[in-house]
Amino acid sequence: MAETDPRDFDEVDHDPDDLDADPGSEDPALTAPGWEENVPSIIVDDVHVRYRVFGGRKRSHGPEMGRFKRMLNRSRGHVGAVNHVHAVRGVSLVAHHGESIGIIGMNGAGKSTLLRAMAGLMPTSSGAVYTAGTSSLLGVNAALIKSLSGERNIMIGGLALGLTASEVRERFDDIVEFAGIGDFVYLPMSAYSSGMAARLRFAISTAAIPDVLMIDEALATGDAAFKARSQQRIEEIREHAGTVFLVSHSMRSISDMCDRVIWIDHGEIRADGPTKEIVKEYRKELKRRS
């Protein structure tokens, strides 16, 4: 029996090509300027969102329907019936650090539903959403407690963003100054106008720069000065390699703040590309449907 050389069983725990590599060197792809912009911040993979609506189904009392048939259909046609809505239909997209992406579409297209699913506030029926880092959803209905003062809401909102109480206190004056509400911050939010509340929501949500900021029509109630400050803050988030999503019916806001636009139609992506190109096509469609 032939003798076996024990060296034949030595384990090789390296790739031969690695022998020439410098152990102290780093991957050039991770050290090149602007590498973060090439890294996905959020991936949406074939996402579907379905939900049920209770009540509100329209009755049918056409002359062709007899009395007996109406009785049989009563259980399906009364206002307490269940209606199934397929709001988002197989949406897939990839966003990168440093991008500012507008999401447009007509009422009921599924824009806000998609945004809530991306933020993890609404479960997906199928598909998956992968997010690198923290995300913050800012909307006109963002949770602020009207019975509490703006001061207390700043503390609660800051803690919800992951800041410590001392960090919130350090940023308190900046938040109030950005919102432009002055001494109203010590009054209950029930005394605020819609514009004041919107400014405070935005100021709180951006107090800690998130990796992904999602804005759902929250800028619609602000004045021109507030929109200018908001645009500057969005640019600051992008400079820190953050990603911004903006849902809006204002094509001017989309054009000013976004470099990419996703057009949602009936729960599906109809177009995805440069802002100027997609906005132009969307406006043509609006004229065609009007």
The model's pLDDT over 27-42, given as tens digits with 9 standing for 90+, comes to 444 444 554 557 899 9
Task: Report the distance separating Cα 99 and Cα 273, nearest Å.
Answer: 12
- Do residues 100 and 239 make contact, with C-beta atoms less than 8 angstroms apart? no
Residue 246, pLDDT > 60, answer yes
The model's pLDDT over 171-202, given as tens digits with 9 standing for 90+, comes to 999 999 999 999 999 999 999 988 888 889 88
Percentage of the chain surpassing pLDDT 70?
A: 73
- Do residues 201 and 218 make contact, with C-beta atoms less than 8 angstroms apart? yes
Query: Where is 247: in which H helix or E strand?
Result: strand 243-247
Task: Report the distance separating Cα 101 and Cα 284, nearest Å.
Answer: 20
Tell me the pLDDT of the chain averaged across its residues: 80
Stated pTM of the model: 0.71
Please name the residue ranges forming H helices in 121-242.
150-160, 165-179, 194-205, 224-239
